């Protein structure tokens, strides 16, 4: 059945598919800021890039909370999200964000002013802060995917591909931006790693489409929306062509070029933003009753 023949019931009482609209663009922006910021901080931590770490922390500590609060109906009660880390990935995510911001800023400050404080570069305090910040960054890079995959009512999200997508995109955008910030000699050595991550993103999208197409009716409907509706041009044009193919070709052709690195960073960011918005747009709830609207009882 093509997408034109699907029944979308909207707010009516008809049996059919209903779009999820609770998580909208503001949540997509919040996810984008968190995964970009955490990925950039993690990669910059490995590269000892002070600018990258500072920019990553800025995104996590400002963009993520702002867009989350913009989404919430009662922002003053947002602190309650921290109360259920034993059963909620949202709650775990809040603690991971707090850990990243706290340990991340302390490590950044110790790296900048450690000499005046009597901290040596290989001191135990710095190593503990670095390990804590890296662990929290990895948690922030994946927890949003885990939160989505727990949604059994929205079949396209209810998959292990969601946390994998969060991790791959966090690493890819983090490395693309960090590569544009480091000196050219260091940037050229990161090209092969970024190309591998772009290949990983391409494989991930194939897995996503395959699992959705052969999944339940809701998951298949979401894939049909992505491939056959108005969203198709954004998926193929921005997510695939601009976000994966363009940076792959640019980095393969001129791996040491600063211009190619800058273009690749912008392209990967554009593809990631489009993916974050689209994954919310195509989310549909499984129908309460399975039916063929063109079938009549004989």
pLDDT tens for 51-94 read 999 999 999 999 887 776 665 655 555 556 655 665 666 777 78
The CATH architecture assigned to 3-285 reads Up-down Bundle (1.20)
Cα 219 from Cα 233, distance rounded (Å)? 19
Q: Compute CA distances 97 → 33, 35, 149, 167, whole Å.
A: 12, 11, 19, 15
Q: Does the structure show a pLDDT above 50 at 146?
A: yes
Choose between 72 and 126: higher pLDDT: 126
pLDDT tens for 13-27 read 555 677 777 778 888
DSSP letter string over 17-85? BEE--SS-HHHHHHHHHHHHHHHHHHHHHHHT-HHHHHHHHHIIIIIHHHHHHHH-S-GGGGGGGGG-T
Burial class (CB in 10 A: 0-12, 13-18, 19+), 204: middle
Residue 234 has which token pair?
């954004």
Task: Specify the pTM.
Answer: 0.86
Q: How confident is residue 208, by pLDDT bands cut at 50, 70 and 90?
A: very high
Q: What is the pLDDT of residue 26?
A: 85
Helices (H), the chain: 25-47, 50-58, 64-71, 89-117, 124-149, 161-181, 184-188, 191-213, 217-228, 231-234, 246-253, 258-281
Domain borders along the chain are 3-285
């Amino acid at each position: 059945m093509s997408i034109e023949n699907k029944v979308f019931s909207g707010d009516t009482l008809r049996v059919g598919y209903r779009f999820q609209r609770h998580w909208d663009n503001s949540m997509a922006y919040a996810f984008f800021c968190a995964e970009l910021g955490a990925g950039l901080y993690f990669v910059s931590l490995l590269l000892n890039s002070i600018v990258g770490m500072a920019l990553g922390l800025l995104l996590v500590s400002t963009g993520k909370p702002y867009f989350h609060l913009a989404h919430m109906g009662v922002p003053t009660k947002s602190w309650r999200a921290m109360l259920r880390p034993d059963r909620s990935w949202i709650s775990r995510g809040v603690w991971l964000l707090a850990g990243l911001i706290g340990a991340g800023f302390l490590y950044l400050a110790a790296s900048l002013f450690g000499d005046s404080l009597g901290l040596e570069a290989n001191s135990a305090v710095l190593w503990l802060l670095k390990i804590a910040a890296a662990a929290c960054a990895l948690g922030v890079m994946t927890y949003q995917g885990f939160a989505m995959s727990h949604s059994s009512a929205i079949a396209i999200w209810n998959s292990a591909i969601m946390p994998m997508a969060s991790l791959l995109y966090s690493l890819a955008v983090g490395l693309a931006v960090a590569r544009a910030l480091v000196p050219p000699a260091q940037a050229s050595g990161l090209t092969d790693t970024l190309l591998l991550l772009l290949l990983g993103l391409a494989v991930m999208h194939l897995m996503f489409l395959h699992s959705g197409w052969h999944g339940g009716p809701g998951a298949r409907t979401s894939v049909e929306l992505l491939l056959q509706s108005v969203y198709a041009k954004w998926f193929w044009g921005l997510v695939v062509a601009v976000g994966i193919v363009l940076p792959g070709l640019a980095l393969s052709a001129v791996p040491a070029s600063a211009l190619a690195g800058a273009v690749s960073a912008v392209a990967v960011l554009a593809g990631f933003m489009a993916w974050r918005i689209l994954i919310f747009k195509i989310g549909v709830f499984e129908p309460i009753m399975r039916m063929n609207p063109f079938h009549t009882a004989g």
